[in-house]
Amino acid sequence: MDVNLSELMAALPDDDLSSTANAAWAQEQLREILADLAQRPAPAGSLHRLWTLSELSAQIALAYLALWIRRWFSDAEASKRRLMETNLRVALKTFHRLGYLRGAMTKLGQAAGNLPGILPGQVADTLDRLHFEAPPMHYALIREVVRNEFGKESEELFLSFEKEAFAAASVGQVHRARLKSGERVAVKIQYPGIARTIDADFRNLSALVLPLRLGKDWESVKAQFEEVRRMLNQEVDYLQEAESQRLARELFRPEDGIVVPRAYPEYSGKRVLTTDYVQGLHLQDYLATNPTQASRNAFGTKIYISWMRMYYAFMPYVDPHPGNYLFLSDGSLGLIDFGCVQHYGPEERELVRMADKMAYEDPSIIPEVVQRACGVSANDPELEGYVRMMEESLDWMMEPVRQPGAFDFGDEAHFQRGVDWFSRVVRKRHLRAHPMYVYWNRSVFGFKALLYRLRAQVDVHAVVRQERPGW
Amino acid sequence: MRITAEAKSATRLRILQAATSLFVSDGWQNTTTRGIAVAAGIATGTLFNYFPTKEAIAAALVAEAMERAGEEFRAGRREEVSLEADLFSLIWSGLRHLREFRKFLAPASDTIFSPLARQSPDSPGDAIRVDHLELVEAIVTSHGFSAPRPAVTVQLYWTLYLGVFAYWAADDSPGQEDTLALLDQSLKLFVASLGIDQGRGTYGRQSQ
Ligand SMILES: Nc1ncnc2c1ncn2[C@@H]1O[C@H](COP(=O)(O)OP(=O)(O)O)[C@@H](O)[C@H]1O
Ligand SMILES: [Mg+2]
């Protein structure tokens, strides 16, 4: 993939910032940091390789950081510039020093949704790569992590335990094992200390950046930033994941053909997650078998159903990453990885109900929904712009519903319209939103990217009829 | 007057036990050889027959724990394990055996270990260093990296080891997980310095 930072920067909104010295300075700093990072070789086995992300992911994250910075600078009052500059300088230094913070930044990039001006195929591929990469662990280390968590050796705890991992996780790795009661399980093990490190660094960075009060949308941006931090912390707590998985599992029946493996809390802890092993293919391996259109449609439909079911259960699956779906030989869909599930409270639920009414029944409530969802008051001059943004979003989201019959998610133009919409939102700086939408955007784009790659045709009407609750 | 070997080792043990509890309760700085002698019920002069300094006492405690760890390591060693994993097991097992001494080893390690891998026969931890480095030599050799090794390789190992040791002694993270990470990363660096890539981490990186 040949996207580089300058292209990404070029794709970002072109505004009046070049006139302010600070913005130019910040951009220059970022360029230098990037150049420095790019120059450093990552020799095999050395510390440099630790915590690295693919260069592309880092660049995307940096580009988003650049975007944020440019936005702040444009809105800030001159009197605050000096303080900002100092804090920013420190923040940039911190960012530079802690290579793996690029991981956190990457998550911000993901959370912001998608990238303007990039081809859908590239976006879909990119969603694959935006992840932390913890160094692989040998068994001697695995044993100690298990011992820390359970006070027991893995040999005592399990009937058998494979010493080699069979899959990588974003902050750890996954081993096959067998419980004493006979079940085959997948044991996800987290690299030691990574959760606390991510949290601490994210806190440090927040402490530098959040008090800055830059711009009129600052409170909203801050809340969104906090939401990312909250979700990151949730994602690295495997006990919470086990609980989300238990709740998700209750949503599906055998006739759905959607398998959520059972999580075993007694064999899980903050850093270790044990779930039933699911035998299946990842998307790319499944596609490599040249599946029929009918098979792809059936899987696409199941993906759609699983996504809607969880959304309407107020626990949206906000990481529809291809690695989290398994294609089983009997046609069932395996759904794994519940680290990134949101649990909506009363406020978010109310917004879901309103949005649903707006989408399916009564478009006249759009302004009302916008006021609630984006915190834009009725007399705000920006309301109109936000309303238009919502109308366009709705058009795109409802396209598959409005068209009769099965909808072809392999249609590149549809995906592209979504990407275009997002880039307009960024360009117009309509970034005020309830924090729940940070992950919601990511969820929608990830989910559509998945169906796009699957080239699935899904009868969305039928799915909606089946899944939409009659509130 | 002749003292039997048995009585001698009993006294030695009493000193070590008394010292351990004082180091733990009063801290490294506040413990004196006199206090240890009193707690062990012997004259200070007698104590000096066994250990010239309190550093020497701490070194003896460490040496014994390390010896037990070495035995445990040899017993549990499996053939198919990588060099990195082997060294990891050895070092972590040493630290595990030292767990009860952790708190006072933080200030003590400065004075019992020399940061130089060679030419430090005067430091109280010298014997520990020699034994440990010999064992490490043997492990590295058994993985097909034949001796002699450049002195700088040994020095790199020792520097990393002392760094991990000092970090561990003051590590308050749950289960000392931060030390686990530091040790892992230090060993990756060391193994890389030997000029080999053991080729781990080849499993499905693309899937998450
Ligand atoms: N229960 C399971 N059955 C089969 N494979 C699994 C299971 N759990 C995890 N895996 C494998 O491990 C990979 C990473 O697990 P995942 O839970 O997605 O980690 P992360 O939360 O870091 O993304 C998955 O893509 C899959 O290949
Ligand atoms: Mg995953």
Q: What digits encode the pLDDT tens for the residues B13-51?
A: 999 999 999 998 998 899 999 999 999 999 999 999 999
* pLDDT, mean of residues A137-163: 95
Residue of A nearest to B73 (CA): A140
* Identity of the residue in B81, B177, B208 whose CB atom sits nearest the CB atom of A148: B177
Contact B15, B36 (CB under 8 A): yes
Closest approach atom of ligand 1 to CA A279:
4
* pLDDT, mean of residues A145-173: 93
Hey, whose CA ends up nearest to atom 16 of ligand 1? A337
Asked if the model's pLDDT at residue A115 lies above 70, the reply is: no
CA angle B204, B205, B208 (to 5 degrees): 90
Helical (H) or strand (E) element with A334? strand A333-335
Q: Which residues of B touch A340 (CB under 8 A)?
A: none
The correct answer on CATH 1.10.1740.10 for the domain covering A136-190+237-277 is no
Q: What's the CA gap between A141 and B85, in Å, rounded?
A: 8
Residue A303 phi, psi dihedral angles, 5° rounding: -65, -45
Percent of chain A residues topping a pLDDT of 90: 48
Write the CB contacts of A428 (distance below 8 Å, at least 6 apart in sequence).
Answer: A385, A389
Q: Quote the ligand 1 centre to A324 CA distance (angstroms).
A: 7
Contact B81 A44 (CB under 8 A): no
Contact B178 A135 (CB under 8 A): no
In this predicted model, what pLDDT tens digit does every residue of A26-48 receive, in sequence order?
Answer: 556 655 655 554 444 333 332 33
Write the CB contacts of A243 (distance below 8 Å, at least 6 apart in sequence).
Answer: A263, A265
Contact B180 A135 (CB under 8 A): no
Write the CB contacts of A201 (distance below 8 Å, at least 6 apart in sequence).
Answer: A94, A98, A100, A101, A104
- Four-residue CA torsion sign, A375, A381, A387, A389: negative
Closest approach atom of ligand 1 to CA A282:
27
Contact B64, B15 (CB under 8 A): no
Of residues A237 and A198, the one with the higher pLDDT is A237
Helical (H) or strand (E) element with A351? helix A346-360
Amino acid at A321: H
- Four-residue CA torsion sign, B161, B166, B169, B170: negative
Most confident listed range (A185-199, A207-221, A249-263, A374-388): A249-263
For chain A, how many residues are written? 471
Asked if the model's pLDDT at residue A177 lies above 90, the reply is: yes
In this predicted model, what pLDDT tens digit does every residue of A400-452 receive, in sequence order?
Answer: 998 889 999 999 899 888 878 877 776 677 778 888 887 887 788 888 888 99
Which residues have any ligand 1 atom within 6 Å of their CB? A 167, 169-170, 174, 186, 188, 261, 275-278, 323-324, 336-337, 339; B 207-208
Structure tokens at A207: 């402490």
Picking from A102-116, A279-293, A376-390, which range would have the lowest pLDDT averaged per residue? A102-116
Q: Quote the ligand 1 centre to A237 CA distance (angstroms).
A: 15
Contact A220, B205 (CB under 8 A): no
Residue A384 phi, psi dihedral angles, 5° rounding: -60, -45
Average pLDDT value for chain A? 77
Contact A141 B192 (CB under 8 A): no
Q: How do the domains of chain A map onto residue ranges?
A: 3-131+195-208, 136-190+237-277, 279-471
The C-alpha R_g of chain A, in whole angstroms, comes to: 23
* Identity of the residue in A138, A149, A170 whose CB atom sits nearest the CB atom of B84: A138
Exposure of A266 in the CB half-sphere (CA atoms within 13 A)? 5
Three-state SS string across A412-456, please? HHHHHHHHHHHHHHHHCCCCCCCCHHHHHHHHHHHHHHHHHHHCC
Q: What's the CA gap between A468 and A329, in Å, rounded?
A: 29
A405/B contact by beta carbon, under 8 A: no
**Closest by CA position to A42, among listed A52, A34, A33:** A52
Q: What's the CA gap between A146 and A271, in Å, rounded?
A: 8
pTM: 0.79
Q: Count other C-beta atoms under 10 Å from residue A422's C-beta.
A: 21
pLDDT at A211: 64
Q: What's the CA gap between A468 and A242, in Å, rounded?
A: 26
A145/B contact by beta carbon, under 8 A: yes
In this predicted model, what pLDDT tens digit does every residue of A85-111 receive, in sequence order?
Answer: 555 555 555 555 554 444 444 444 443
Closest approach atom of ligand 1 to CA A241:
21
pLDDT at A228: 76
Of residues A75 and A253, the one with the higher pLDDT is A253
Structure tokens at B145: 């990296």
In this predicted model, what pLDDT tens digit does every residue of B128-150 receive, in sequence order?
Answer: 888 899 999 999 999 988 777 77
Helices (H), chain B: 5-26, 33-40, 44-50, 54-76, 83-97, 102-112, 126-142, 151-169, 177-193
Q: Quote the ligand 2 centre to A336 CA distance (angstroms).
A: 7
Asked if the model's pLDDT at residue B75 lies above 50, the reply is: yes
Q: Quote the ligand 1 centre to A337 CA distance (angstroms).
A: 6
Contact B208 A144 (CB under 8 A): no
Residues 49-78 of B with CB under 8 A from A: none
Q: Give catalytic residue positions of A.
A: 319
Q: What's the CA gap between B30 and B32, in Å, rounded?
A: 7
Q: What's the CA gap between A322 and A156, in Å, rounded?
A: 34
